Amino acid sequence: MSNDDDQQLVDAAKAGSADAFADLVRVYRVRLLRFLLTRSTSYADAEDALQDTLIAAYRYLHTYDSRWRFSTWLYRIAIRNAGRIRSQSVVELGDLGDEEGDPMLQCIKASETENLWVSARRVLNDEVFAATWLRYAEDMSINDISIALDRPDSWTKVNLLRARRALDTEMNRKNNGNEAYG
């Protein structure tokens, strides 16, 4: 969806159209949930953060400034809600049993090799992981990421570069380790 399409829906929702807001929810729900899953300790926590994000977006839609992308504003709310819901310690994927019942975590655990995002979750701090996710999974611009994370563009650029280097090192380490055993 283009920024112009978003803006039309936002304007209609601000004018009181529940259908327009429902359309915005349909557009962003899955993307937000996928993002929140990377920042939460469980699927239930991610769903709670998503619900809180959508409620806050509806409640404070009148404060949205159209100079910025709607998606940036929405992710900023999501980041705040994920931080409130997230418990003090992150559950490592390897610590979760199959009885957890979370299909996404079961799929990740069942894969024969750890994927890039699981490695990123492990080696990057929360804020750098969020910046990396927003850039590469959500295709957000440096400026939009900086706004969403309330950081300068220079911080975003430097930390994306550091994240790429850290992940390259981690993947090379894992690949070299696998070759030694394979």
User: Are both 138 and 72 inside the same structural domain?
Assistant: no
Query: Rounded to whole angstroms, how far apart are CA atoms 103 and 110?
Result: 10
User: Are both 104 and 168 inside the same structural domain?
Assistant: no
Query: Rounded to whole angstroms, how far apart are CA atoms 165 and 170?
Result: 9
How many domains would you assign to the chain?
A: 2
Half-sphere exposure of 40 (CA within 13 A, CB side): 25
Per-residue pLDDT averaged across 90-106, rounded? 50
* pLDDT 10s digits, 122-155: 899 989 999 999 999 889 999 999 999 999 999 9
Per-residue pLDDT at 92 exceeds 70: no
CA–CA distances in Å: residue 18 to residues 47, 61, 63, 103, 113: 21, 12, 17, 32, 44
Helix (H) or strand (E) holding 149: helix 142-149
Per-residue pLDDT averaged across 50-78, rounded? 93
Structure tokens at 9: 């829906």
Identify the weakest region by mean pLDDT among 23-27, 33-37, 118-122, 176-180. 176-180
User: Are both 132 and 91 inside the same structural domain?
Assistant: no
Which of 68, 86, 110 is the endpoint of a domain? 110
Query: Rounded to whole angstroms, how far apart are CA atoms 141 and 81?
Result: 22
Which of 82, 110, 138 is the endpoint of a domain? 110
The pTM of the full predicted model, rounded to 2 decimals, is: 0.68
Q: What is the CATH number of the domain that holds 69?
A: 1.10.1740.10
Helix (H, G, I), strand (E, B) or coil at 99: helix
Which of 94, 110, 126 is the endpoint of a domain? 110
Question: 176 exposed, middle or buried (CB, 10 Å; 0-12, 13-18, 19+)?
Answer: exposed
Per-residue pLDDT averaged across 161-167, rounded? 94
Residues spanned by the domain of 69: 1-110
Per-residue pLDDT at 15 exceeds 90: yes
Query: Rounded to whole angstroms, how far apart are CA atoms 169 and 146?
Result: 25
User: Are both 102 and 123 inside the same structural domain?
Assistant: no
